[in-house]
């Protein structure tokens, strides 16, 4: 019994050291490098995902939200089905309408109509047609932290195909992005609450391996952006 207790104490000390190491590396790495999110976005900024076939164009940033228009490429696959745990998401279709997979049902949003996806509901917008589709987030917006994390995630996906990355590399990087990026997979993965726990314990390993929660090269497209 005493041996078991000693082993348990040693195990807890090692876990504590591991988590503390990750925290310290995170503070050292992020301090002074992550920009002020509250003033990060400007009118006309764009952020692009080749992997998902879409471009977001910033209209404004105010009251902790970023408001955008979104351009979907012809036949754009768009994001995998996902959940937001902290905010609702409202889509307003442009003149060609919009398809959204909501849970397991395909919904067609008529031109210029709006539809709100409540937090916790699996969904994904997509474009099955050969036309470019415009939709608007100009009236509702994203939380600014989410928009910031989205830029980083787009950069990570387009820097190198996810098919060419190991699952370990993807999970470690997601553990850092998830501090800002409130988007959780729904297919062949644990529920979001468990994903958050897993990422919490993966985060120190990502730091030890030299991964970052912010990459300057994954920034906005802006004239004169440095």
Question: Tens digit of pLDDT for each residue in 113-139?
Answer: 999 999 999 999 989 988 898 888 878
Angle at 134 between CA 132 and CA 137, to 5 degrees: 155
pLDDT below 50 — which residues of the chain? 224-226
The reported pTM is 0.86
Residue 72 lies in a domain: yes
Cβ pair 100, 121 in contact under 8 A: no
Assign 6 to helix, strand or coil: helix
Residues 192 and 124 in one domain: no
Domain-embedded: residue 186: yes
pLDDT of residue 161: 82
pLDDT of residue 224: 47
Range of the domain at 114: 39-143
The pLDDT value recorded for residue 226 is 39
Do residues 29 and 95 both lie within one domain?
A: no
Domain C-terminal end among 113, 143, 173: 143
Q: 């996902």: which residue's tokens? A: 82
State the pLDDT at residue 85.
95
Q: Is 56 helix (H, G, I), strand (E, B) or coil?
A: strand
Side-chain-facing half-sphere of 86: CA atoms under 13 Å: 13
Name the domain count of the chain. Answer: 2
What's the CA gap between 132 and 129, in Å, rounded?
8
Do 43 and 137 fall into the same domain?
Answer: yes
pLDDT recorded at residue 32: 58
Q: Are residues 55 and 90 in the same domain?
A: yes
Q: Which of 180, 181, 173, 211 is nearest to 25 (CA)?
A: 211
Q: Which of 143, 168, 193 is the last residue of a domain?
A: 143
Q: Is 103 exposed, middle or buried (0-12, 13-18, 19+ CB in 10 A)?
A: exposed
């Amino acid at each position: 019994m005493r041996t078991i207790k000693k082993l348990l104490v040693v195990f807890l000390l090692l876990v504590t050291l591991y988590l503390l190491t990750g925290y310290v590396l995170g503070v050292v790495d992020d301090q002074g490098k992550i920009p002020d999110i509250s003033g990060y976005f400007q009118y006309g900024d764009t952020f692009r995902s080749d992997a998902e076939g879409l471009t977001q164009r910033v209209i404004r940033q105010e009251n902790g939200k970023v408001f955008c228009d979104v351009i979907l490429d012809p036949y754009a696959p768009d994001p995998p089905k996902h959940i937001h745990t902290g905010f609702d998401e409202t889509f307003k279709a442009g003149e060609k309408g919009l398809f959204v997979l909501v849970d397991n049902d395909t919904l067609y949003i008529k031109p210029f109509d709006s539809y709100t996806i409540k937090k916790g509901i699996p969904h994904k917008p997509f474009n099955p047609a050969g036309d470019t589709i415009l939709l608007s987030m100009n009236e509702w917006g994203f939380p600014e932290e989410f928009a910031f994390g989205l830029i980083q995630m787009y950069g990570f996906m387009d820097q190198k195909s996810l098919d060419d990355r190991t699952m370990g590399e993807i999970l470690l990087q997601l553990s850092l992005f998830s501090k800002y990026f409130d988007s959780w997979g729904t297919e062949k993965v644990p529920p979001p609450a468990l994903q958050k726990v897993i990422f919490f314990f993966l985060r120190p390993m990502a730091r030890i391996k030299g991964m970052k929660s912010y990459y300057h090269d994954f920034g906005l497209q802006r004239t004169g952006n440095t």
